[in-house]
Structure 1
Amino acid sequence: MAEALNGLKRTNMCGDLRESHISNTITVMGWVQRKRNLGGLVFIDLRDRTGILQLVFGEEINKEAFEKADKVKPEYCLAVTGELVKRQSPNENLPTGLVEVKGENIKILSESETPPIYIKEGLDAAENIRLKYRYLDLRRPDMQKIFMIRSKTTKVVRDFLDENGFLEIETPMLTKSTPEGARDYLVPSRNYPGMFYALPQSPQLFKQLLMVSGYDKYFQLARCFRDEDLRANRQPEFTQIDIEMSFVEEDDVMAINEALIKKVFKEVVNEDVKLPIRRMKYKEAMSKYGSDKPDIRFGMEINDITSVVKDSEFVVFKSAIENGGSVRAIKVENAADMGRKKLDKFGEFVKTYRAKGLAWIACKEDGIKSPMAKFFNEQQMQEILDKVEAKTGDLVLIVADKDSITLQSLGALRLHVAKELEILKDNKEFNFVWITEFPLFDYSEEENRYIAAHHPFTMPMDEDLQYLESDPGRVRAKAYDIVLNGEELGGGSIRIHSSELQETMLKVLGFTQEKAWERFGFLLEAFKFGPPPHGGLAFGLDRMIMFLAGTDNIKDVIAFPKNQNAYCPMSEAPNMVDDKQLKELGITKAEVK
């Protein structure tokens, strides 16, 4: 039977009580972690979000409370009042392990059925079960620690930006669909039958308009929505720390965000981030690491060995070079004894990135071993090893193909090998790097046109403006990403603030003038009224919390996430709606096949 509080107030949180509180009469409230009946005594471990506290009930303390305590079960919700005393059997593993409460009064605030999942740290349960009973999953101490970290992080962010003159301003959730990127989530309008709002993929256009409005330092913890096929660490709705500034260049934006990173990591996890953060151009990142978000905590850099093997008669290398490609390699230190079975698996791995195969050289104590050795004399083989600085005990892995395939496959193989060999197993460092000078455009073979590599509002680099229409693939962007341990933590750019240049940019992207104004007319119109130079950056808050909390699963840091099919097992969303609702919106259901 559930009891009411009837004016009873909690005096302390369970995890806060220490020896200094002994002799105080306290009231704690929380959930039963476990109960033990030792004959004349009942012990209850009571849990709230701050920790666990032992309660003891006895017939000699209060018979009524003792009898009621003996009836409780795990996850019952209790309020208990009593004197805090020194614990008879201390538990050094608990922060509260030197004290306990002599239970003089107990209220059973609500009872609980046997939970379908254990409320404990390190729960090993199927993800869909955890998501179905998310309200129980969130009771677990390790999950509650994550959300305390998230709360602290957002407070530090807000405090820092406020201290630096930024204004927190909200932008609309119901906005115009301007598809140029991921799919929009659409919301039908009852007042305008047949028309739709879109949920924002980001506040991009609105924050630029705020710069036009004279709010020269804006930020927002912005909810964003993208209707994409989900990958491991992607959710249909997520949160950005969205920042925009006027009268700035790249260095200004990067400097304030470096300071923000330093503040957050110091205050939340006591980690000192050394400034300034290293910068690396996009071309260097791709050529050395095969990725625009390189993990630079370990070496294994990609080496171009084309010049060394260009005269080779090895048909795999020769064919790739003749077709305008390259031959590149990575060196894996102390891996020469790797088994043939694992090397064959690496060969299959690179094929998933369209590489035709993998060549290798093992520098063993008794000489060089390689399936391609018969195509090279001793001097040629040594030249390859010298190029990659391989020594006895090292393994060299080689791919020959088009540059894009060679770099992508070796970049992915580099990470795969590091994981297989547990190179980063005990590496707890936070290694930041800025990636700069991205291409402004990517070419889409599927659409047979250039598409924006970042977004259509990114400013080209001044010296590349002359190529904007004549050679778009040559144009670099005033764009920058902040990468942490091989993951993009945030990205931004200096924006176009000229209506004429913005129209040219959209023209290169395939928009007619009419279509450009139809989609982005409100921005182009605003740019006629003295827009300031401006730029910004958006951090992925969820991804930042993953690093701070030490989890590799984005679902752990979002209170009520969707599963990999963008479905919520708990609330059963999305769901069907009544025909009456659809009729009000002027929508008819298509037959589902």
Structure 2
Amino acid sequence: MHPFRSHTCADLNKSNVGETVRLSGWVHRVRDHGGVLFIDLRDHYGMTQVLADPDSPVFSQVEKVRSEWCIRIDGAVKARDESLINPRLPTGEIEVYIRDIEVLGAAQELPLMVFGDQEYPEETRLRYRYLDLRREAMQQKMMLRSDVVASIRRRMWDQGFREFQTPIITASSPEGARDFLVPSRLHPGKFYALPQAPQQFKQLLMVSGFDKYFQIAPCFRDEDPRADRSPTDFYQLDMEMSFVTQADVFDTVQPVLEGVFEEFGGGHKVDKHWPQIRFADAMKWYGTDKPDLRNPIKMQDVSDHFRGSGFAIFAKLLEQDRTEIRAIPAPGGGSRKFCDRMNSYAQKEGLPGMGYIFWRDGENGMEAAGPLAKNIGPERTEAIRSQLGLGKGDAAFFLGGKPSAFEAVAGRARNVIGEELNLTEQNRFAFCWVVDFPLYEKDDETGAIDFSHNPFSMPQGGIEALDGDPLEVLGYQYDCSCNGYEILSGAIRNHRPEIMFKAFSLAGYSEDDVRARFGGMVSAFQYGAPPHGGCAAGIDRIVMLLADESNIREVILFPMNQRAEDLMMGAPSEPTNEQLRDLSLRVIDQE
């Protein structure tokens, strides 16, 4: 017999009755029923009930066993009484009478319990992640992640892609986040960088004549943590293709993602139609470039109804340049209690509040109520109601000013309204493409122009588009959003050196800067570069959605905490003096 097991803890059933078997696993739970000791023995595959009565030759040893001890048992398989069958377990028809036991690994007092559904602070769970991962829910999520990656790989191979691995140690590159730098021992004072993405390498693969590339790629970015973003590293489905348009990329990646969500979405509806929404429209309608289309609410510009109106706050705002009044329709939200609650929400978000109008029964039929309605009069109020397509029992909320100052709050308020009024459709994965991103943005404090998205994107209109206002230039850039999360980002690449030099010059980079920072790519583009494009889809975020989680750390094996610390391994840690000398470095204390 094998030294540790003849079967897993999910294998045994009624057909094994009478056999002598060997099982190994962890003690999930111990129960004492009148002198008979029952143990739920657990391994990665499942659970088997094993027991020892006083007649067992190892009863005294079994008495010492505690939760999460790792043990090996030998015993005889017996059928359970009909009344004691557990239909929830694949092994619920049998139990194993222990005849021999070996303790493979004893456990000290546990800092968190594996059995049960107790809630523990995240810091405790991350410090003892190896215990947290023993829990069934965590095992299921990590297996889901593995299955999703395997499915993606199969789907990419089926479309003619080949998987290639790109370097992990490379040069620094402006990708929109801070690099993790790696000091060089052989070249004192110089640093490598961990790649924020395989961006340059996958483009160089296209120049090298490989037509379709993909990789499940690790990426490293020194970012501030969020619930849906890891502060250090993440994995993405990275892909690139030659001789393609934006539409070709969409047609290639959509069936891959659609298929994965259908395969692992637990029966949720998966949208087949993925609308294309211009970036400017996404911000205007949804207040975000990653809209949740399960929520049908679409914001609208209602500025004309407030110009010269009796509501002085909005009327004066509209006298300023680049200001507008935006309405958030709220079907079914027509009560003062709900309106006051949403007004308080806006105040908690840092705004003075949200104006509102709601429509209710009046003496002469439907009437508009609320402070705004009184100030602007019935004619303007009716025009607003008509534009928004609202009726009795509905409401509308209003924010004003420069869109950049209120759009984010408006977008979050739209989500809250959709949830609270049960307008957001659950059990559905709703996708959209967000397209026509601006290539550049201006820093509000310095006024400097910089790339807003991906610096290697082709400007729409080619080199001539770069002659005018940089803030008007659109790129062949695109994101894919699902249920309010960005799950994919990509672009058609700028493969022409003369266009690249000019595009970078508008962001303050000289031709010498570009050659110094991207010399390999600039050189390659001078030797017959094909038009190419691609994208990257976030594996962690996709699995988070499929697992119905809102915290990305729930689907990562060994994540950092919110302060980018690995409590389990003690990272980051202080280097030794010998390590610093090898690298020609010293640490300067910062006051």
Range into which the TM-score falls when normalised by the shorter chain: over 0.9
**Which aligned pairs between 1:186-585 and structure 2 lie closer than 5 A?**
186-235=181-230, 236-269=232-265, 271=267, 273-324=270-321, 325-339=323-337, 341-350=340-349, 352=350, 355-366=351-362, 367-421=367-421, 423-424=423-424, 427-462=426-461, 465-585=463-583
Structure 2 unmatched ranges of 5 or more:
none
Residue 169 of structure 1 deviates from its aligned partner by 1.2
Structure 2 residue aligned with 1:146: 141
Residue from 47, 65, 85 that aligns with 2:78: 85
**Which aligned pairs between 1:64-213 and structure 2 lie closer than 5 A?**
64-88=57-81, 89-120=84-115, 122-213=117-208
- Kept in 1, the 8 Å contact 2:271–2:431? The answer is no
- Mean CA deviation greater in 108-117 or 11-20: 11-20
Structure 2 residue aligned with 1:3: none
- Mean CA deviation greater in 356-365 or 290-299: 356-365
| Cα distance between partner residues in 1 of 2:390 and 2:273 | 32
| Cα distance between partner residues in 2 of 1:18 and 1:279 | 53
| Cα distance between partner residues in 2 of 1:555 and 1:163 | 31
| Cα distance between partner residues in 2 of 1:230 and 1:290 | 22
CA change 1:515–1:482 in 2 (3 A) is same
| Cα distance between partner residues in 1 of 2:379 and 2:117 | 55
- Kept in 2, the 8 Å contact 1:306–1:327? The answer is yes
- Kept in 1, the 8 Å contact 2:239–2:534? The answer is yes
CA change 1:252–1:373 in 2 (3 A) is closer
CA change 1:31–1:179 in 2 (3 A) is same
Residue from 33, 51, 54 that aligns with 1:38: 33
| Cα distance between partner residues in 1 of 2:336 and 2:562 | 35
| Cα distance between partner residues in 2 of 1:16 and 1:279 | 49
Residue 465 of structure 1 deviates from its aligned partner by 4.5
| Cα distance between partner residues in 1 of 2:421 and 2:394 | 13
| Cα distance between partner residues in 2 of 1:179 and 1:489 | 21
CA offsets 1:206-248 (integer angstroms, 9 cap, x no match) = 1111111112111111111111222222211111111111111
- TM-score scaled by structure 2? 0.94
* Aligned alpha-carbon RMSD (Å): 2.0
SS in 1 for 2:67: coil
| Cα distance between partner residues in 1 of 2:253 and 2:436 | 18
**Residue type at the aligned position of 1:73:** R
| Cα distance between partner residues in 1 of 2:76 and 2:361 | 72
Structure 1 unmatched ranges of 5 or more:
1-5
Structure 1 residue aligned with 2:589: 591
| Cα distance between partner residues in 2 of 1:185 and 1:206 | 18
**Which aligned pairs between 1:37-56 and structure 2 lie closer than 5 A?**
37-56=32-51
Residue 180 of structure 1 deviates from its aligned partner by 4.9
- Kept in 1, the 8 Å contact 2:175–2:196? The answer is no
- Kept in 2, the 8 Å contact 1:238–1:542? The answer is yes
CA offsets 1:365-413 (integer angstroms, 9 cap, x no match) = 3443211233222222211222212211112111121233343332121
SS in 2 for 1:582: helix
CA offsets 1:477-511 (integer angstroms, 9 cap, x no match) = 11121111010011111111111111111111110
| Cα distance between partner residues in 2 of 1:544 and 1:232 | 14
- TM-score scaled by structure 1? 0.93
- Kept in 2, the 8 Å contact 1:258–1:276? The answer is no
Structure 2 residue aligned with 1:13: 8
CA offsets 1:435-483 (integer angstroms, 9 cap, x no match) = 1122222222234222222211011223x64221322222221112111
| Cα distance between partner residues in 1 of 2:521 and 2:223 | 26
- Mean CA deviation greater in 415-424 or 82-91: 415-424
Query: What is the percentage of aligned positions where both structures have the same residue?
Result: 36
CA change 1:321–1:78 in 2 (3 A) is same
- Kept in 2, the 8 Å contact 1:239–1:540? The answer is yes
SS in 2 for 1:331: strand
**Residue type at the aligned position of 2:550:** D
| Cα distance between partner residues in 2 of 1:495 and 1:15 | 51
CA offsets 1:526-556 (integer angstroms, 9 cap, x no match) = 1011111111110111001101112111111
- Kept in 2, the 8 Å contact 1:469–1:508? The answer is no
Query: What is the number of residues matched between the two proteins?
Result: 581
| Cα distance between partner residues in 1 of 2:546 and 2:567 | 27
Residue 288 of structure 1 deviates from its aligned partner by 1.3
| Cα distance between partner residues in 2 of 1:382 and 1:200 | 56
**Residue type at the aligned position of 2:488:** G
| Cα distance between partner residues in 1 of 2:49 and 2:542 | 35
CA change 1:276–1:342 in 2 (3 A) is closer
- Mean CA deviation greater in 412-421 or 103-112: 412-421
SS in 2 for 1:365: strand
| Cα distance between partner residues in 1 of 2:422 and 2:567 | 34
**Residue type at the aligned position of 1:289:** Y
SS in 2 for 1:376: helix
SS in 1 for 2:292: coil
CA change 1:179–1:537 in 2 (3 A) is closer
CA change 1:447–1:240 in 2 (3 A) is farther
| Cα distance between partner residues in 1 of 2:426 and 2:296 | 13
**Residue type at the aligned position of 1:585:** L
| Cα distance between partner residues in 2 of 1:153 and 1:16 | 25
CA offsets 1:62-96 (integer angstroms, 9 cap, x no match) = x2233322221100101223333322212233343
Residue 113 of structure 1 deviates from its aligned partner by 1.0
CA change 1:373–1:525 in 2 (3 A) is same
- Kept in 1, the 8 Å contact 2:296–2:423? The answer is no
SS in 2 for 1:106: strand
CA change 1:202–1:33 in 2 (3 A) is same
| Cα distance between partner residues in 1 of 2:166 and 2:476 | 25
CA change 1:552–1:409 in 2 (3 A) is closer
| Cα distance between partner residues in 1 of 2:344 and 2:117 | 32
- Kept in 2, the 8 Å contact 1:480–1:491? The answer is yes
**Residue type at the aligned position of 1:404:** S
- Kept in 1, the 8 Å contact 2:271–2:428? The answer is no
| Cα distance between partner residues in 2 of 1:255 and 1:23 | 57
| Cα distance between partner residues in 2 of 1:112 and 1:586 | 44
Residue 125 of structure 1 deviates from its aligned partner by 0.7
| Cα distance between partner residues in 1 of 2:148 and 2:12 | 25
